[in-house]
Structure 1
């Protein structure tokens, strides 16, 4: 079985790639930049030239949490490109192949797709857009037997927070781990029906300032 996982170099994407490889998947690591549409299209066509795809996991993501007027136009475009445009384009490029295999698209969104938080307008907009895309695409693909799942992780202990002024606390009950999320992804893949939307949360809500 063949899978494409974006964001494979670290965090949740890396953990998902590892667990899939442990379970007989050949994980393809894209070389094109997610904002380079022409290169991305060519690479996907080359990948699918000789064999079809079973699973697409759109996991790459970037964030910013500050007053909206302080965010550069370049950063605004980056978030839209990586968090929303890239998954939409990759789904488009892979769908014919996924229909042949009756495959699965999994989009890693965020808890912020389900709520409205201070200093999160841009990030929330991209993730809410991804969630809505996922849910609508599932309805489109039901007769084609292609599964679509949207996953909303809450605070997860990764390098996602390296550039922010806050991070999850050290309380193990206050954050998720990439490995736990990856285990859930494998369960979603193996589930007999379709889990269309799932939110993963730690028991406690605790963050700390750096």
Structure 2
């Protein structure tokens, strides 16, 4: 079985890639930048010429949390391109192949898609867009037997927080590990029905400032 996982080089994407490889999936690691649409299209079409796709996991994501007027136009475009436009385009490119295999699309959104946090307007907009794209696409693809799942992880201990002035606390009950999300992804793929949406949260809510 062949799978495309974006964001495979670190964090949740890396953990997902590793668990899929341990379970007989061939993980295709795209080299094109997600915001380079033409290069991305060319590479995906080349991949799909060789073999059909069983799984597409849109996991790559970037974030920023600050007053909206302080965010540069380039950064606004980057978040929209990586978090929302790229998954929509990748789904478009892969869908005919996924219909052949009766495959599965999993979009890694965020807990922020479900709430409205201070200084998160841009990030929330992209993740809420991805979530609603997923849920609407599920309805569209039911008759085609292509499964669609949206996953909303809460605070996960990864390098996602490297550039921010906050991060999860050291309390192990206040954050998720990437492997937790990866295990959930595998369970979703192995489930006989369809888990159209899954929200994964730690028991406690605690963050610390750097």
Q: Shorter-chain-normalised TM-score: which range? A: over 0.9
What secondary structure does 1:152 align onto?
Answer: strand
Pairing 1:155–2:155 present: yes
C-alpha deviation, 1:50, in angstroms: 2.0
1:168-202 Cα deviation digits (max 9, x unpaired): 00000000000011000000000010001110000
C-alpha deviation, 1:44, in angstroms: 0.7
What secondary structure does 1:48 align onto?
Answer: helix
The count of aligned residue pairs is 210
Alpha-carbon distance between aligned partners in 1 of 2:127 and 2:169, rounded to the nearest angstrom: 23
When normalised by structure 1's length, the TM-score is 1.00
Per the alignment, residue 202 of structure 2 pairs with 202
Per the alignment, residue 57 of structure 1 pairs with 57
Mapping for residues 19-168 of structure 1, pairs under 5 Å: 19-168=19-168
Alpha-carbon distance between aligned partners in 2 of 1:60 and 1:144, rounded to the nearest angstrom: 26
Unmatched 5+ residue regions in structure 2? none
Alpha-carbon distance between aligned partners in 1 of 2:48 and 2:94, rounded to the nearest angstrom: 8
Alpha-carbon distance between aligned partners in 1 of 2:144 and 2:126, rounded to the nearest angstrom: 27
Alpha-carbon distance between aligned partners in 2 of 1:141 and 1:174, rounded to the nearest angstrom: 36
Unmatched 5+ residue regions in structure 1? none
Alpha-carbon distance between aligned partners in 1 of 2:50 and 2:64, rounded to the nearest angstrom: 39
Any runs of at least 4 consecutive aligned residues in structure 1 with deviations exceeding 6 A, and if so which?
none
C-alpha deviation, 1:51, in angstroms: 1.0
When normalised by structure 2's length, the TM-score is 1.00
What secondary structure does 2:180 align onto?
Answer: helix
What secondary structure does 1:119 align onto?
Answer: coil
More divergent stretch after superposition (36-45 vs 101-110) = 36-45
Alpha-carbon distance between aligned partners in 2 of 1:63 and 1:135, rounded to the nearest angstrom: 22
Alpha-carbon distance between aligned partners in 1 of 2:71 and 2:41, rounded to the nearest angstrom: 30
